[in-house]
Chains A and B, each alone.
Chain A
Amino acid sequence: MRVALFVTCLVDLMRPSIGFATARLLEEAGCELVVPETQTCCGQPAYSSGNRAAARQLAKKVIGEFAGFDYVVAPSGSCAEHIRNAYPLLLADEADWLPRAQELAARTFELTDFLVNVLHVDKVPGRFAGSVTYHDSCSGLRGLGIREQPRALLAQVPGLELREMAGAEECCGFGGAFSVKFGELSAAIAARKCGNLRASGADAVVGGDLGCLLNIEGRLRREGDLKTRVLHVAEVLAGVDGDGEAPHAGGAN
C-alpha cells in the first residue's frame, strides 16, 4: 500500500518530530511511505481568510502532487478536513478538476482515523509512563468525526492513563489567523482550555493538530506552567518526541 505523507506546513516548520513519528507509525503498520517533495501547504489559510483564488490554486497543486497514491495521510485533522471537505467545494464549478478533487478527498485521511479505520492497527510502538488528557481539535472532531480514534489508539500505549478534561471538545481559541488578528481574545479562550486541562491533573495534554498545540503550549508557558507536557498524538503513539527520545511524563529534564 503506497501512502503519501502530507506533513503539513506547520509540522514542517515547527515540529518535524511529528512528521517522523507519523512516518514511523505508518511504516510499522506496513505502508510504503512516500513524502512528495514539492508539497507546501493545503491552502486552508487562504480559504479561511476569504482568498478563494489562492485557495483554489493551492488545491490544484496538492491534487497534482498527491495523485497516484493509494492514500494520503496527514497528522492533522484541520488539513485533512480541508482537503476532504473544502477541495470539492472550491472546485465545484471546474469540470476538469472536480472529479480529481473528489477522488483525492476520498483517499485522504487524518492519521488516527487512518490507523484505526483503514489499517485497523491494534499495536503501537509508543510507551508512556503517566497520564494524558486529550484535546479534540475542532476541524477533525466536527468536520471528520474524529473522537474515538485517537482515544482507542492511546488506550494501546503501555503505561498511559487517559484522564478526560471538562470541555475537551471546546475550541482552544487558535483559529489560524484569528490567533494573531484577535490575540488577546484568542489567548483568553486558550486560558480557559488550560484551566480545564490542568484540572484534569494529567501530566500531558495530547492533541492531533499542531496549531492547537502551539496555542495551548504557548499559553501554559506564559502562565508559568513549565511542567505540563504538550504532545502530538503521533509522538505519543510512536514513542518519538522532539528530543528524539520516548515522550516522558515528567517536566523539564
Chain B
Amino acid sequence: MRQQSMHFAARVGDRLADVKLQANLKKAKGKFVDMRAAAVREFDADAAACAAAAGRDDAVTFAALRDAGAAIRSKVIDDLDLWLEIFEAKAKASGATVLWARNGEEVCAHTIEIARRHGISKAIKSKSMLSEEADLNAALSAAGVQPVETDLGEYILQIAGNEPPSHIIAPVIHKTLDEVADLFAREHGKPRKTDIPALTREAREALRAHFLSAGMGISGGNFLIAETGGVALVTNEGNGRMVTTLPNVHVVITGIEKILPTLEDLATLLRLLPRSATGQTISNYVSLLTGTKGAADPDGPEHLYFILVDNGRSSLLEDDFRAMLRCIRCGACMNHCPVYQTIGGHAYGWVYPGPMGSVLTPLFTGIERALDLPQASTLCNQCGSVCPVKIPLPQLLRTLRERQVTRQLRPRSERFGLKVWAWLAQRPALYARAASYFARYLGWLAGGEDRIRVFALAPQWTAGRDLPAPQGKTFRERWAAERGR
C-alpha cells in the first residue's frame, strides 16, 4: 500500500470538512464503544453470578481476563523463535508447507510462485491486513492472477477502484449506505437498492461464481496454534469458510507474532477478541484449520501453505516496543481514540490507523516517514485502558517522540521553544518574572475582554477556539502580596 503518512496533518482538514465521513464516524463510534462497554458489563455480571453460585468471591472479571491475555501474549513474544519452530514442525507434520517472508516483496513472490506451481489464474481472498502491507493484490494482478476480495467490506472497496480500508476490522466504515447502493447499481448493472439484506444478497450472487471458479484461497490468520500447527480464523461472514475450504489450494498469510502456544490459550484470547472488537460474545464464525484434506474429509484444500511474515516485526523485539507485538488486531484502540473518532482511518496514510497504527507505521516503515503519527495523540489513554492485551500505547507513542527528538527530527521552532522553556523552568526567579510578563502580555492581547480571539504565538490554538484571558497577576505574585514572605 502506498504510504502517505507524511501528509497526516495536511489531510486532517479534509476529513473534518467531509460531512458524510463525519456522520459515519459518529455512528460507528456509538456502536463500537457502547457495544464493547455492554459486553464487558455483561461479562463481569456473569462472572460475579457464577462465582456467587459456587460460593466463591474470586470472580474472573474482564480486567483479570485482560491480565491473562497480556500474560499469554507476553510469554509468546519473549520466546517467539521457539514457538515458531514448534509451530513449523507441527504444521509440516500435518501436511502444510511453511514459508517465511522477510518483507512484502517476499510475500508477493511466494504467493505468485504458489499460484504458478498450481496453474492458478484466480484467487479468492478473505480479509488480510498483511496482504495490504504487502500490496499483494497489485502484485497478483500484475502476475496474471485475478484477486477477488470476498469479505463484504473488502469487496466493496475492491469494486470501488481498490480503495484502501479505513479500519482493520470494519474496512468500509467510512462509506454510507447510499454510496454503496450507488456503487452496486453501477458495478453490478442491477436496479439500485438501499435495503442492506438485499445488497448483501446481490454481493453474494456476484461472489458465488468466483468462489466456484477460483483455484486458490488466500486468508489471513487471527492466531497460529503452536501445539497443533493450525490457524484460527475469527470472522463474522461465511466467506472465510468458503475461501479456506473450497479451493484446492489455501494460502495463509500472517505475521510471525500471531502465535499462541495452545488451544487452551486460544480459548482465553477468544473470550477477549470479539468482546473488544465488536462487543460480541463470540464472532459468527470461529474456524480452526489444521493440515491438508485427509482421506476421510469431504472437503478442504489438498495444499496448505503458511506464509509467515516478518516485515519489521522482529525489529520490535528490542525492549522498548516489544509490548506492541502482543497486539491481536481487535481495533478497540481506534474505536476508543478521540483522534480516530474525529478523522477516520485514511488520514493515517498506511495500513494500520488509530493508536496501534501510530505505533506500528513509524516502526514498520521508518520513523522519518511518519513523523506526525506519534504526535497526533492527546495521550488520553482511552486506547490503553481498553486494549485486551494491555499494550501501553501512550507510553509507546511517547517513546517514539523521544526517538524523534534524539534523531533531531522535530522542527527547529519546536526544539528552540522547548529549549528556552526548559532553561527558564530551571531558573525560578527568571521564570517567575517571565510568567508575570507573559500573563500581562496575554491580558493586553485580550484587550479588556475575557478572551483572546487570535493568538499569534500559537495560531493553531485560536484556529478553532478562543483562549481564555488570564486573571492578571500570577498566583505567586498574588500569594506573596497577600500572605507576605
Indicate whether A217 reaches chain B with its CB closer than 8 angstroms: yes
**Is B416 located at the chain interface by the 8 A CB criterion?**
no
B residues 396-416 near A (Cβ < 8 Å) are: 398, 400-406, 410, 414
Taken together as a complex, chains A and B put the C-alpha atoms of A139 and B384 apart, in Å, by 12
CB pair B375 A178 closer than 8 Å: yes
Instruction: Tell me the smallest distance from the CB of A89 to a CB of chain B, in Å.
Output: 9
Q: List A contacts of B312 (CB < 8 A).
A: none
Chain B residues with CB under 8 A of A38 = 428
Given contacts A180-B460, A222-B465, contact A12 B376 (CB under 8 A): no
Asked whether B95 is an interface residue with its Cβ less than 8 Å from the other chain, the reply is: no
Q: List 19 A-B contacts (CB under 8 A).
A: A9-B425, A41-B425, A49-B418, A51-B418, A142-B380, A170-B338, A171-B338, A178-B376, A179-B461, A182-B9, A182-B12, A183-B464, A185-B12, A188-B342, A214-B468, A219-B464, A219-B466, A221-B451, A230-B468
Please give, as numbers and ranges, the residues of chain B lying within 8 Å of A187 by CB-CB distance: 463-465
Tell whether, in the assembled complex, residue B451 and residue A48 are in contact, meaning their CB atoms are under 8 Å apart.
no
Once the chains bind, are B378 and A171 in contact (CB under 8 Å)? yes
Q: Which of chain A's residues 44-100 have a Cβ closer than 8 Å to chain B?
A: 45-52, 54, 57-58, 61
B339 proximal to A (CB < 8 A)? yes
Do residues A190 and B381 form an inter-chain contact, with CB atoms below 8 A?
no
Contact present for A12 and B474 (CB under 8 Å): yes
Chain A residues within an 8 Å CB radius of B478: 16, 20
B363 within 8 A of A: no
- In the bound complex, what is the Cα–Cα distance between A192 and B439 (angstroms)? 29
Known: A48-B398, A218-B466; 16 extra A-B contacts, CB below 8 A, are A12-B435, A12-B474, A16-B479, A37-B476, A50-B402, A52-B405, A138-B382, A139-B381, A178-B375, A181-B460, A185-B16, A189-B338, A189-B339, A189-B341, A219-B465, A221-B466
Chain A, 157-181, CB within 8 A of any chain B CB = 170-171, 173-181
Are A184 and B12 interface neighbours, CB within 8 A? yes
The residue of chain A having its C-beta at the shortest distance from the C-beta of B459 within the complex is: A183
B437-485 interface (Cβ within 8 A of A): 438-439, 442, 450-451, 458-468, 470-476, 478-480, 483
Which of A11, A41, A51, A139 has a CB less than 8 Å from the CB of B475? A11
Bound Cα distance from A230 to B376, whole angstroms: 26
Q: Which of A12, A15, A218 has a CB less than 8 Å from the CB of B465?
A: A218
Contacts of B435 in A (CB 8 A): 9, 12-13
CA distance A9 to B343 in the complex (A): 32
| A228–B238 alpha-carbon span in the complex (Å) | 51
Contact surface of A with B, Cβ cutoff 8 Å: 7, 9, 11-17, 19-20, 23, 35, 37-41, 43, 45-52, 54, 57-58, 61, 138-139, 142-143, 170-171, 173-192, 214-215, 217-219, 221-222, 230, 242
Contact B471 A16 (CB under 8 A): yes
Contact A49 B401 (CB under 8 A): yes
B144 within 8 A of A: no
Instruction: Evaluate contact between B460 and A182: CB separation under 8 angstroms.
Output: yes
A41 to chain B minimum Cβ distance, whole angstroms, is: 5
B380 close to A12 (CB less than 8 A):
no
**Closest B residue by C-beta to A189:** B338
- Whether B465 and A171, one on each chain, are in contact in the complex, defined by CB atoms closer than 8 angstroms, is no
Q: Once the chains are docked, how many angstroms separate the CA of A52 from the CA of B439?
A: 27
Secondary structure dominating the interface of B: helix
Produce 1/0 per residue, B384-399, CB < 8 A to A: 1100000000000010
- Bound-complex Cα distance A16 to B424 (A): 20
How far is it, in angstroms, between the C-alpha of A15 and the C-alpha of B376 when the chains are bound? 28
Residues of B contacting A179 with CB < 8 Å? 460-461
Interface centre among B422, B435, B450, B464 (most CB of A within 10 A): B464
Inter-chain CA distance A9–B450, complex, in Å, is 20
B80 at the interface (CB under 8 A from A): no
Given A48-B401, A170-B382, A185–B422 Cβ distance below 8 Å? no
Is the CB–CB distance between B425 and A58 below 8 Å?
yes
Q: In the complex the two chains form, is B377's CB within 8 Å of A217's CB?
A: no
1/0 per position for B338-380, CB-CB distance to A under 8 A? 1101110000000000000000000000000000000111111
Residue of B nearest to A175 (CB): B378
- B225 nearest CB across to chain A (Å): 34
Is residue B119 contacting chain A, with contact meaning CB distance below 8 A? Answer: no
A184–B460 touching, CB < 8 Å? yes
CB distance from B66 to the nearest CB of A (A): 14
- Given the contacts A50-B401, A178-B378, A190 and B473 also touching, CB distance less than 8 Å: no
Contact of A12 among B424, B426, B476 (CB under 8 A): B476
Chain A residue with the shortest CB-CB distance to B399 = A50
Tell me whether A188 and B466 are in contact in the complex, defined as CB-CB below 8 angstroms, given that A17-B471, A173-B378 are known contacts. no
B464 and A16 form a contact (CB under 8 A): no
Chain A's closest residue to B406 (CB) is A50
Query: Contact at B381–A138, with CB atoms within 8 Å?
Result: yes
Give the residues in chain A near B426, CB-CB below 8 Å.
Answer: 40, 57-58, 61
Asked whether any CB of chain A lies closer than 8 Å to the CB of B294, the reply is no
Q: How far is the CA of A242 from the CA of B398 in the complex (A)?
A: 35
Q: Mark B3-14, 1 if CB is under 8 A from A, else 0.
A: 000000100110
Q: For residue B410, which residues in chain A have a CB less than 8 angstroms away from its CB?
A: 49-50
Is B379 in contact with A52, judged by CB distance below 8 angstroms?
Answer: no
Q: Which of A54, A139, A174, A222 contacts B418 (CB 8 A)?
A: A54
Q: Check B431 for interface membership: any CB of A closer than 8 A.
A: yes
Judging by beta carbons under 8 Å apart, are A57 and B422 in contact?
yes
Contact of A7 among B16, B341, B464, B476 (CB under 8 A): B476
Nearest CB of B to A76, in Å? 13
User: Closest chain B residue to A33 by CB distance?
Assistant: B483
Q: Tell me the smallest distance from the CB of B452 to a CB of chain A, in Å.
A: 9
A64 to B433 CA separation, bound complex (whole angstroms)? 21
> A48 CA to B377 CA in the complex, in Å?
10
Known A39-B428, A184-B460: A217·B418 in contact at CB below 8 Å: no
- Residues on A with beta carbons closer than 8 Å to the beta carbon of B459: 183
Q: Would you call A50 and B404 a contact (CB within 8 A)?
A: yes
Chain A, residue nearest B411 (CB): A181
- Whether B468 and A218, one on each chain, are in contact in the complex, defined by CB atoms closer than 8 angstroms, is yes
Q: Which residue of A lies closest to B449 (CB)?
A: A221
Measured between beta carbons, the chain B residues less than 8 angstroms from A186 are: 378, 460, 464
| CB-contact partner of A19 in B414, B464, B479, under 8 A | B479
- Closest A residue to B450 by CB, please name it: A221
Is B421 in contact with chain A by the CB < 8 A criterion? yes
Residues of A within 8 A of B432 (CB): 40
CA A190 to CA B380, docked complex, whole Å = 13
Known: A41-B425, A182-B460, A184-B464. A50 touches B338 (CB 8 A): no
